[in-house]
Chain A
């Protein structure tokens, strides 16, 4: 329990660092030196020191947006098995709760964006409401796959101890599909290239960034920290999926886990460097790919497990 709480705390603390890796990778591809690895901490500290400007159009919902998006992100991490250890809380069906909590975060991000009466933010909100619908279908398809394998509906029964390696042993080939499918979901849910571009400030090309245009100061800091935590959540799962080994020593396991995380973040960085953002009407097709992959993986397991 104590270990889980420490891990949870470390996860929130380390999440900005890992996001810095992406920037470094992109700088490398651009032939630049890039910002320091700790850039995100500097940004957060800078934002927290500042005051805020609020639009006269906004209401209390605008202020609730950042709070709830961070609060849902850190709550979700409490249910996440980090490096194969038990999460702080775990029960049958916790994954449903986790997914719907993320929905709560999204609701308030959208509501806060609509609160500003800005046409740009409205457009971002409309897209933010659209793509996750397909994502959710894909996520639930993956859950069905996991349920076929383990018979449980609980994050800890997929990602703790030897559970992940056991899944690879029963259905290795379809699980490859799932990793890919989940990676697509990661890119979509966290507004990365090729779905969204977190770096541009051309309002019309963005989804998530445009929704937070009007937030400033500590509020923006909370949002940023929340999105680092959210990316960390997805990356942790993929890290565990691609490196499910148990090295016998807890220290080595943590090391392996961090190696996995770095691989995931580098992969995100590489993708962001080598491909451009898709045209908006291509994005649904891209996201639907993840659903199709998960669906085929599940159909294949029908034969594996008789």
Chain B
């Protein structure tokens, strides 16, 4: 455990040094990046070793017998620690050149400070071993990320995003408090261990409350409303950490509560699976409809959280219907997708960050042709996109492969599990197709074709640490895709830590499956090389000419004629219109020579619409009516307090 605290202290010192050295901007940044990097590296290697050797560790701090802060590392937390520290490490390296454009030294220092606090609090959440410690670290995590979201607080849009995030994370926390409150009410202890002694109905309540609470952090539909606002508002390395890692802490909460309750009812599996399917399909549909590159990626996180939950849902259904292999496959697929998503989503956010920083716009339809001047960024983003679509031979495929196999095991079961598995498989297929459409839009419109604006023409990709970071992540996507056998032990160790009463997890089928995936990927590579060879053979000594794109006889093409991202997505969005209502506005065209016109479109999120209609408006109405209570007279406020105490005394004594 001391290793773990050493890394925490290193990261903390990084944050403090960046504040202390704020006068020397350069030094402050170097100190922060170096210390955070070192701390994360230390922490990641410690977590990997702990995970590999399956050794746990625990540490308890008691303060005056009032309460104790307990920390414990088991397989599950070691798995999450690995993800947290390694992605944060790369994000820290990336930030070195990314933050270069910021002139305000105080903003940089404060950003690093909260970045460090965020990493530390995430690491502490997954190691927390009692309710108080957990909630304390959870709150620190929410608050530090709030300060990171409002980094660019000069823009009112970002302040709104921060406000929304603040509200959502606290309502989420309230749900978690309620869940833990029920636990405390029954057991009278802050320990996690007592949770499996609850009565069954209480367990279901605790699960549902904590699912809503953790789900709102993870971005599960319909509690994801904050996510597409908050993630794009933060600087790109923070978006990468938030989307790649922080939302997974919500998933950690769900799975942790699931194990602690130790209650194997099909209800849990069904809830998780249905939530996963809805988040997955709608997340990617909304992503497809976005015009803002980073918002698109944020919605795609909702989709991936959906895939992870589908995996866990399959696992839970496997547990409740006594199908060990199905359970293990589902959970392993889910954990693997957590790892994979953290890699390719942070890659995509960092890649998008470079594009956004160099062109100064996040609007997809204002970009284009970036691949020509940004070779490394473009190529790595293409790799990330292939991975996030779940295509072989990249890492996204591996996780989905396990989830599919697990879900197919469920197809052979009785009606309820059959229906759920069918639902999961068909939605995974649809999600795959939609993700392909969504990310071909990103690649096709942002990185290919001709630049649509001047900003996109002038883009370059200077900044070595940014390029190194995305190259490492892209390399990881390819390596895991080609040799999943090399890392499959990590999710499997996490699954064994779930303690699913099956003794040890059967490793053999996984070895076989990863071997098969590697074999198939190799076959694909070999046939690729063969075809490249054939192509080379037929192009030897041939005359290759360059010319404009064939415009079907039209000789005056302009860049504005290119297919835009909005038109590209419109066919599919039309199909999903009931779930994704499209709002369009444009003036009517009149006269023979119409004047300058415009077209605006916006895909509405039904969760946002209904949340506004059902919750926000009535609550605002009610509070508006109660406004007279807040009159600003301090004497009466003291009166309120007295009145409240007297009422409480009357009721409870």
Residues of A within 8 A of B (CB): 48, 50-59, 61, 66-68, 70-72, 74-75, 78-79, 89, 91-94, 96-97, 100-101, 103-104, 106-107, 110-111, 113-123, 125-127, 129-130, 132-137, 139-141, 143-144, 147-148, 151, 153, 203, 213-214, 217-219, 221-222, 284, 298, 302
Contact = CB atoms under 8 A, between A and B. Distances in A.
B326 to A, nearest CB: 13
B197 interface: no
Contacts of B425: 140, 143-144
Contacts of B440: 107, 110-111, 114, 125, 129
Interface in B473-530: 512-513, 516-517, 519-520, 523-524, 527-528, 530
A61 B379 CA distance: 9
B307 interface: no
B458 to A, nearest CB: 17
Interface residues of B, number: 80
Interface string B552-587: 100001010111000111111001000000000000
Nearest to A50: B542
A51 B389 contact: no
Contacts of A103: 389-391, 432-433, 436
B230 interface: no
A204 B408 CA distance: 40
30 contacts: A53-B544, A61-B443, A67-B531, A67-B532, A91-B519, A92-B512, A93-B401, A96-B401, A101-B392, A101-B524, A114-B445, A117-B450, A118-B557, A118-B562, A119-B561, A125-B563, A126-B568, A126-B570, A129-B440, A129-B572, A136-B429, A136-B432, A137-B426, A143-B425, A151-B412, A214-B550, A217-B542, A218-B535, A222-B531, A302-B415
B443 A114 contact: yes
B551 A118 contact: yes
B377 to A, nearest CB: 13
Nearest to A77: B527
A210 B156 CA distance: 45
B545 A53 contact: yes
Interface string B368-404: 1101100000100010001001111000010001001
A57 B369 contact: yes
Contact of B429 (A118, A127, A140, A298): A140
Given A89-B523, A114-B444, A114-B449, A133 B559 contact: no
A107 B436 contact: yes
B524 A114 contact: no
Interface class of chain A by DSSP: helix
Nearest to B390: A100
B286 to A, nearest CB: 15
B437 A129 contact: yes
B411 interface: yes
B542 A51 contact: yes
Contacts of B415: 302
Most chain B beta-carbon neighbours within 10 Å: one of A66, A91, A118, A127: A118
B628 interface: no
B443 A111 contact: yes
Nearest to B519: A89
Contact of B372 (A59, A71, A75, A148): A59
A57 B523 contact: no
Contacts of B9: none
Contact of B432 (A75, A100, A116, A302): A100
Contact of B538 (A71, A107, A218, A284): A218
B448 A74 contact: no
B512 to A, nearest CB: 8
A302 to B, nearest CB: 8
A103 to B, nearest CB: 5
B411 A122 contact: no
Contacts of A284: 575
Given A71-B524, A116-B550, 8 more contacts: A55-B548, A68-B528, A113-B444, A122-B563, A125-B444, A137-B430, A218-B542, A302-B415
Contact of A57 (B449, B512, B567, B575): B449
B391 A107 contact: yes
B164 interface: no
Given A89-B523, A147-B411, A120 B552 contact: yes
Contacts of A101: 391-392, 524
Contacts of B569: 126
B38 interface: no
Given A71-B524, A126-B568, A52 B545 contact: yes
A148 B412 contact: yes
A3 B342 CA distance: 44
Given A119-B563, A127-B571, A56 B405 contact: no
B356 to A, nearest CB: 20
A52 B542 contact: yes
B412 A52 contact: no
A61 B433 contact: no
A56 B429 contact: no
A93 B448 contact: no
Contact of B547 (A53, A132, A136): A53
Given A91-B519, A103-B436, A55 B524 contact: no
Contacts of B519: 89, 91
A67 B535 CA distance: 8
A221 B575 CA distance: 34
B535 A219 contact: yes
Contacts of A56: 546-549
B509 to A, nearest CB: 8
A293 B402 CA distance: 27
A222 B443 contact: no
B22 interface: no
A56 B531 CA distance: 24
Contacts of B561: 119
B433 A132 contact: yes
Nearest to B516: A91
Contacts of A55: 546-550
Contacts of A74: 527, 530-531
A101 B527 CA distance: 12
Contact of B444 (A72, A110, A218): A110
A230 to B, nearest CB: 14
B405 A129 contact: no
B543 interface: yes
B529 to A, nearest CB: 9
Contacts of B547: 53-56
A72 B562 CA distance: 28
B563 A78 contact: no
B544 A52 contact: yes
A114 B448 contact: yes
B567 A122 contact: yes
B539 interface: yes
Contacts of B418: 302
A45 to B, nearest CB: 11
A147 B531 contact: no
A114 B564 CA distance: 10
Contacts of A137: 426, 429-430, 433
Interface string B56-83: 0000000000000000000000000000
Contacts of A153: 405, 408
